[in-house]
Amino acid sequence: MSEPSVDLVKQYLMGLQNRICTAIEAEETEGSFREDQWDYHGGGGGKARVLEGGKIFEKAGVNFSHVKGDQLPASATAHRPQMAGRSFQAMGVSLVIHPDNPFVPTSHANVRMLIAHKEGEDPIWWFGGGYDLTPYYGFEEDCKHWHQTAKKACEPFGDEVYPRYKKWCDDYFFLKHRNEPRGVGGLFYDDLNEWPFERCFEFMQSVGNSYIDAYLPIVQRRKEISYSEQNKRFQEYRRGRYVEFNLVYDRGTLFGLQSGGRTESILMSLPPHVRWDYNWNPEQGTEEARLYEEFLKPKDWV
């Protein structure tokens, strides 16, 4: 197996953060990212970039992190007992975009690598990541485009890759306590080390590089649609599901909090305005009901 290169991965991730922020800022007309650099207690740190209060994007966070430590947190070793007792380096780019217009979906993307060392033994490494889409009002055209782009990113790596990681995404971004998906899925993969290092790294790059191609055309199609206060209330209600998933299930959030990461960066994924209405259900025949009936169900979009 080829030797892993932390420096190559870090260089790519920092460039990816720059390219995504540049693309988001080019779409936004009334805001820009501010950057905070932070240090991690075990070594390393990161750059958090957040845009708030824009005309197109109510909140957008794009975070790069490269942290080091003497021991992995419980969230990383629960399913990987061979990692216990090893020092580690974890790096990645994680982002969440919350648009202002309820007809533009929220999107999330993450690409990351972890490598763990123990004296006298070979390092253990793996890649993870993916992206998923959370619409508030469903458009079949958008879902097909999102998944077609994801499939295209996977195609050079085998015909079985997209179906496998599409299903993993459907299974992962599922709120068990609500018995419903968070959105319409996309790609999710974790513990990827079945190929040589270079091949796994190439896959990470293919996923990361395809995100803007998957998301911005949807933003551009929907950002000028007029909306009502009712549409906005429904968006904020559905954002509650997003918060619930991130705080209860999300592996990246749990890893960051358990490893003593920077809380502001970890929780930048949360939307600025959200609501929980007691025992609310959409009226039959409405676009809100259609979201549940036609879109919040795992299906083959391509």
Q: What is the pTM of this model?
A: 0.93
**Catalytic site residue from 66, 79, 108, 117:** 108
DSSP strand pairing (180-181 vs 174-175): antiparallel
Which residues are CB-contacts of 96 (< 8 A; sequence separation ≥ 6)?
60, 61, 106, 107, 108, 268, 269
Work out the angle between the directed axes of helices 197-222 and 140-154 (0-180°, nearest 10).
160
- pLDDT at position 1 is 42
Q: Which segments are annotated as binding site?
A: 94, 98, 108, 110-112, 147, 177, 260-262
Closest residue by Cα to residue 62 from 26, 34, 30: 34
- Which amino acid appears at position 87 of this protein? S
- pLDDT at position 75 is 61
Q: Which segments are annotated as binding site for substrate?
A: 94, 110-112, 260-262
Is 108 in the active site?
yes
Closest residue by Cα to residue 225 from 141, 104, 98: 104
pLDDT, mean over the chain: 93
Domains of the chain: 6-295 (3.40.1500.10)
Closest residue by Cα to residue 62 from 28, 87, 88: 28
| Residues of the chain with confidence (pLDDT) below 50 | 1
Q: Which segments are annotated as binding site for a divalent metal cation?
A: 98, 108, 147, 177
